[in-house]
């Protein structure tokens, strides 16, 4: 496989998805069902189809047949002949489950263990769908709300005390006596394992305190209080409605991003974003869901430490490309915004890339012998490593998933004007 190919991608219809965002991106009519994620890549659960030699073929199978051509020799050797990332558009109209992802050692161990136990990959109580970890980067296309990582312990004590002191007095005292990572783990474990009666009482207490007529005006505007009410409207019996008091709330403006490492508890709450991650679908859930919860395994995977989410702003590479720097070895996300007379030129030595156009119209040209490909909103392509160089010109925006490596450059064609 030595040519750039257009992709046909799977849309995941999860209950929390948007009715309109992904259809609008793809220029298709809404189906009436919530469409949550557009997957671009070669994960076995939903590999993209590439239009190759006049027919649609699985990108997973094309990579298996031509690993060095598609991935490049070094990347194929480093990642076992597999594309190391999964590229998505995520469209959340409702909150996702509270979750965390395992590190590489935990994923391999858990995948092998569940295989030995004979748990089907399609089973609802399967934790590990593959043997990979899942660090990820979320980049906002619209205003994007979420939760990530444990708050400062002093903030947790303050909020839980305001909301549920009458029910969770012992749990607050426990954390006050041990204000460290072990105390956080003990608190979280006690919350997830408390009796149904106590959970109901804690939720009722919190809702009473966030809706009371005596709540000060500044607290009414506090996102913690607002999100507790919104989560309760969706999951009235789930203790996860209290978790804005435990986890950091964040709100990304369009163009801002966040990197989430393995083990960090998080939940996406609302918005549309570009998501790029290691090629995995391993999820351990902790609330705001009807799906399988494995509390012991979640506690094993989570990182119990205070943190403050760091918003990533794109670093300018050229007049037309900006990159979101993360520590991930598997992926790099950048956005290319091309204008008339400004052409983006790829590096010659690079690995496999996937491009998604989100705005405008672009022309992708890989040189003599290959027909130019026209990119418009919603169109995605895979660029094999065997394609030595390609140009992007026109007027539009695309997001590029790649493996960390050489940067492309910009050619200013305005200098040739007379």
Q: Which residues pair with 394 in a beta bridge?
A: 362
How many whole angstroms separate alpha carbon 222 and alpha carbon 178?
Answer: 27
How many whole angstroms separate alpha carbon 283 and alpha carbon 276?
Answer: 15
How many whole angstroms separate alpha carbon 170 and alpha carbon 61?
Answer: 55
In angstroms, what is the C-alpha Rg of the chain? Answer: 23
Residue with tokens 């030699």: 53
Q: What CA dihedral angle connects 257, 261, 265 and 269, to 10 degrees? A: 20
The 10 Å Cβ neighbour count of residue 291 is 11
**Alpha carbon distances (Å) from 234 to 18, 94, 98, 228, 238:** 15, 8, 14, 10, 9
Active site residue 285: yes
The 10 Å Cβ neighbour count of residue 219 is 14
**Is the distance from CB of 162 to CB of 244 less than 8 angstroms?**
no
Measured at the CA of 142, the angle between CA 17 and CA 374, to 5 degrees, comes to 90
Q: What CA dihedral angle connects 54, 60, 62 and 68, to 10 degrees? A: 150
How many whole angstroms separate alpha carbon 241 and alpha carbon 257?
Answer: 25
Name the nearest CA neighbour of 163 among 101, 85, 215: 215
User: 285, 315, 317, 350: which is the annotated catalytic residue?
Assistant: 285
List Cβ neighbours of 361 (8 Å cut-off, separation of 6 or more): 374, 375, 376, 394, 395, 396
**Alpha carbon distances (Å) from 311 to 85, 139, 154, 255:** 21, 10, 22, 10
Active site residues: 285
């Amino acid at each position: 496989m030595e040519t750039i190919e257009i992709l046909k991608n799977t849309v995941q219809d999860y209950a929390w998805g948007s009715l309109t965002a992904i259809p609008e991106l793809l220029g298709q009519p809404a189906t009436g069902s919530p469409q949550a994620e557009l997957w671009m890549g070669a994960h076995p659960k939903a590999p993209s189809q590439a239009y190759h030699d006049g027919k649609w073929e699985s990108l997973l199978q094309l990579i298996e047949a031509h690993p060095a051509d598609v991935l490049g020799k070094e990347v194929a050797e480093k990642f076992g002949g597999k594309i190391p990332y999964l590229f998505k558009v995520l469209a959340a109209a409702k909150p996702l489950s509270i979750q965390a992802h395992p590190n590489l050692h935990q994923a391999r161990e858990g995948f092998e263990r569940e295989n030995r136990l004979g748990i089907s990959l399609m089973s609802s109580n399967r934790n590990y769908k593959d043997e990979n970890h899942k660090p990820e980067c979320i980049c906002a296309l619209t205003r994007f709300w979420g939760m990530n990582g444990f708050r400062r312990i002093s903030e947790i004590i303050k909020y839980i005390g305001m909301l549920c002191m009458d029910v969770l007095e012992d749990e607050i005292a426990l954390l006050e006596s041990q204000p460290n990572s072990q105390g956080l783990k003990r608190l979280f474990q006690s919350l997830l394992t408390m009796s149904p009666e106590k959970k109901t009482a804690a939720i009722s207490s919190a809702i009473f305190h966030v809706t009371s007529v005596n709540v000060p005006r500044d607290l009414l505007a506090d996102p913690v209080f607002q999100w507790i009410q919104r989560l309760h409207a969706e999951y009235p019996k789930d203790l996860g409605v209290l978790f804005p008091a435990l986890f950091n709330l964040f709100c990304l403006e369009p163009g801002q991003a966040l990197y989430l490492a393995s083990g960090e508890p998080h939940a996406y709450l609302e918005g549309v974003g570009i998501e790029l991650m290691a090629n995995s679908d391993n999820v351990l859930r902790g609330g705001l869901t009807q799906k399988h919860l494995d509390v012991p395994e979640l506690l094993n995977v989570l990182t119990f430490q205070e943190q403050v989410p760091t918003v990533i702003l794109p670093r300018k590479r050229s007049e037309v490309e900006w990159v979101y720097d993360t520590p991930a070895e598997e992926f790099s996300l950048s956005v290319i915004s091309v204008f008339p007379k400004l052409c983006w030129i790829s590096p010659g030595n690079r690995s496999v890339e996937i491009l998604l156009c989100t705005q405008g119209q672009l022309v992708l040209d890989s040189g003599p012998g290959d027909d130019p490909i026209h990119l418009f909103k919603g169109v995605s392509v895979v660029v094999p490593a065997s394609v030595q160089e390609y140009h992007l010109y026109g007027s539009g925006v695309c997001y590029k998933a790649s493996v960390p490596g050489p940067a492309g450059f910009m050619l200013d064609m305005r200098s040739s004007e007379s």
